Amino acid sequence: MQRRSFLQKLIYSASALAAGSVPYGLAYMMAPPVMAESRNIVLPPGALKDPDEFNKACIGCGLCGEVCPPRCIRFHKMSGKHKLNTPYIDVAEKGCILCNKCMEICPTEALTEMPREKIDMGIAQIDRAACYPWVDKGICGACVLICPLAEKAIGFDFANIYRPVVKEGCVGCGLCVEVCPHPSQPIWVVERSQGTIVKHRV
């Protein structure tokens, strides 16, 4: 009898716990948490500059991701209703090769076709306190060699042919971030207003 009473109480407690968690589950599904922004998260090439306008214009069709040769385009899934299914690129995982295919296929004004040199996804920024050539820890140059815009976007320091320097022609494709061999990742893509060099506090 006592065992039966114990089982009944156990079932009742489990049911109450399950019922009590329903509102929280519904709240999570209806208003999922917003993904924290990363310095290496950029919009695809040709995207409207205003993020809100881009989110309104994008219909979440996924065509840009389908035609992307390097498969660098991802889609927001748990970022709230305004970003849901909209595309983004995490250049630390896979950079953009500036092939223009996503801009060509976009059925809305979210992505506008333009020359590679006019694209503005951001700009590469180098932390000279962590980059191997800049702290005399070795020779690299991977970022310079991989850049699809060559000397217009990145080159070597005039005084030292092994130290990379980002130029204003950089469009933020992020291939340099993808190939950087340094574990601390001394190069990343940021908003253009932040400049090409990390300014450390003295």
Average pLDDT over residues 96-119: 97
How confident is the model at residue 153, as a pLDDT?
97
Handedness of CA 96, 108, 37, 76 (dihedral sign): negative
Query: 10 in a domain, yes or no?
Result: no
138 φ/ψ sector (left φ>0, alpha ψ -120 to 50, else beta): left
pLDDT digits (tens, 9 = 90+) for 3-51: 445 445 555 555 554 445 444 344 334 444 444 345 799 999 999 999 9
Strand partners, 165: 155
Judgement on whether residues 71 and 96 belong to the same structural domain of the protein:
yes
Judgement on whether residues 110 and 169 belong to the same structural domain of the protein:
no
Query: 173 in a domain, yes or no?
Result: yes
Structure confidence at residue 182 as a pLDDT band (50, 70, 90): confident
Average pLDDT over residues 175-184: 90
pLDDT at 144 over 90: yes
pLDDT at 197 over 50: yes
Q: Interior CA angle at 34 toward 78 and 126, to 5°?
A: 105
Residue with tokens 């109480």, as numbered in its chain: 9
Structure tokens at 67: 């035609």
Expressed as residue numbers, the domain containing 170 is 123-194
What is the Cα–Cα distance from 10 to 75, expressed in whole angstroms? 43
**CA nearest neighbour of 164 among 195, 142, 136:** 142
Judgement on whether residues 108 and 50 belong to the same structural domain of the protein:
yes
pLDDT digits (tens, 9 = 90+) for 43-84: 999 999 999 999 999 999 999 999 999 999 999 986 556 778
Judgement on whether residues 45 and 110 belong to the same structural domain of the protein:
yes
Average pLDDT, the chain: 84
In order of 73, 145, 182, the CA distances from 41 in angstroms are 11, 22, 19
pLDDT at 174 over 90: yes
What is the domain-level CATH number for residue 91? Answer: 3.30.70.20
The DSSP output letter for 111 is B
What is the tally of structural domains in the chain? 2
Helix, strand or coil, per DSSP, at residue 105: helix
How confident is the model at residue 87, as a pLDDT?
96
The more confidently predicted of residues 124 and 28 is 124
Q: Which of 76, 91, 114 is the last residue of a domain?
A: 114
Structure confidence at residue 118 as a pLDDT band (50, 70, 90): very high
Judgement on whether residues 143 and 106 belong to the same structural domain of the protein:
no
What is the Cα–Cα distance from 30 to 8, expressed in whole angstroms? 34
Average pLDDT over residues 180-202: 86
The more confidently predicted of residues 138 and 86 is 86
How confident is the model at residue 7, as a pLDDT?
47
The more confidently predicted of residues 120 and 26 is 120
